[in-house]
Structure 1
């Protein structure tokens, strides 16, 4: 599925491969390959390695400490990291908040927060979803009332990914309860150690607290921590979500997952022959590979436009839907290839001395399958994204 690269791009690919061979810690790569849960130290270690190389922020311009790479180089880097089983770069500061600050933040906010994202001094989490405001995010109820030079915040956020590691949270809050849903929202930057904030873990099927609830009780936030104008936060939220949904496409991870499925299918037998020769399995494998090739090309087009300063539009919803469907299909193919070895999914049966009996490649299959059922829900459910796509296309036809 490789693109046709020119000489400079092939040289860059070789440079990335060499860097990964020398700098990616084998124990960390093995942990990712095995599907084991990564702790904060694991993420921080890889973050620091990439930052020291200057390769931490592929999507950022050089003026802000980014790589300044074009779309093809970003594609090469993402794919090679995934194939080498490098940890996923935690996206909240780098991929989500960073672009919002560059576009809408004050000079003081850019000067203060952007370097701290790169250095790892600040670990950001996302305060968007609420119990009654998930895909219908504009119905959020967390309030921020102006009190002099502070806002007083009360409410709850949920599904806060890796919030247990974060010292900062960017939040959507309602600052005008009488305005229309999208018109009374502001975008605040909040320290997690501010009095009145409580974080409660949510345990997932695999036994890890990957997501959390965050409660705000009379939390005082300086007005200077507001990004952009008051009550204009929905504009900034949409901008952030287009970047998040493009990133959710996960082309590199899908390619690594597809390569793993192929290895499994060559090893597993069906009717006395390798599973990969089974016509029904092979047909499903071929279809998902075709879909992945098409999505990768679309992803490159959209990233290239973003590099020219054009925020992705409805295409980001398309990538979110297709990317998550492809990753879930790959997970299902892996589960089917592993057969009975993919049955256990509780955390005790996946790690340490209790690892399931069977080939090494079967170990992460169940964890990945069950954990990645979330992909079609977070970042805006696929059903909502399909509605966005339909409305946008139909509105275009009416024009």
Structure 2
């Protein structure tokens, strides 16, 4: 049986004075905190990733990101002027800008929202969005493949797929479309899924070679227990307590899921690619892998964080990350259509270099409960003078 999920959970908040906290069903804890009713005060991920500093170098200009989702509403203030013509992948009657669920609009805003009108501020606000609409309630087997091919043929450098299809195997048409995108040098990011504390099956297309599978971390810099994990996972990004407009359009809601993490990973790639327009997709991805926050101990890639937490600022501000060969795919599970090689050799080493700009080198935890990793996003969360991520391992 096939099911398709959007990898997002949303929680209603009060329209004037909101309680913005981790949803119990997602994080397992409720720690309410009152905030003024504006999106920016909730966008912790921008501060954590040092977005203001990065935007002095790159804000995504010149890069188009295709959003294969439920459509994108151009009337959202923060998305006005941000869209290029897209396509309705269903029956063509609705149009790519009709979004009945709001999910696609949310993902587009996280990537390229300008913050206009008090709306969502995206991580790559000068990138363009190519909206590709599918029917989330009745997806057809060829919807995603057609979306990928359309994105490639219409100038997208990055394809964001914040959805997952539970399948016993691969869809032949999807495999061919992914290979086509890889041959054309297009980067694809997909959400790993939100059942890490349940059946924990990384969904397609994230599970497929040639696609970057993304996991989620929460506001406390903890890998969420519901973020799907496994050998396919490549990177992790912020994905919990993310502000989005409530379904009725009144005020903001707290949302969470690997959907949001995927959008921020796509935006991170847009920032790097914009700053280095001569790089190939392989080089952009390799730079993100090389500069990701690494576990101080343990196997890399980790089944919980992949090669680590995406840190575009390390490429943009610290000038780190060797782009390497232009035609070599940087993940070991490379597509058949592209050359592949193991990730950079230093990825398997414990992080032992001196912290930079307030980063802290964390010690590895013992037993099967936690694994501490170096983040270096910035001073988003400081506990006892250090900032770090915690990966909570799922008990047997």
The structure whose residues are more often helix, as a share, is: 1
Shorter-chain TM-score above 0.5: no
State the TM-score, normalizing by the size of structure 1.
Answer: 0.25
State the TM-score, normalizing by the size of structure 2.
Answer: 0.25
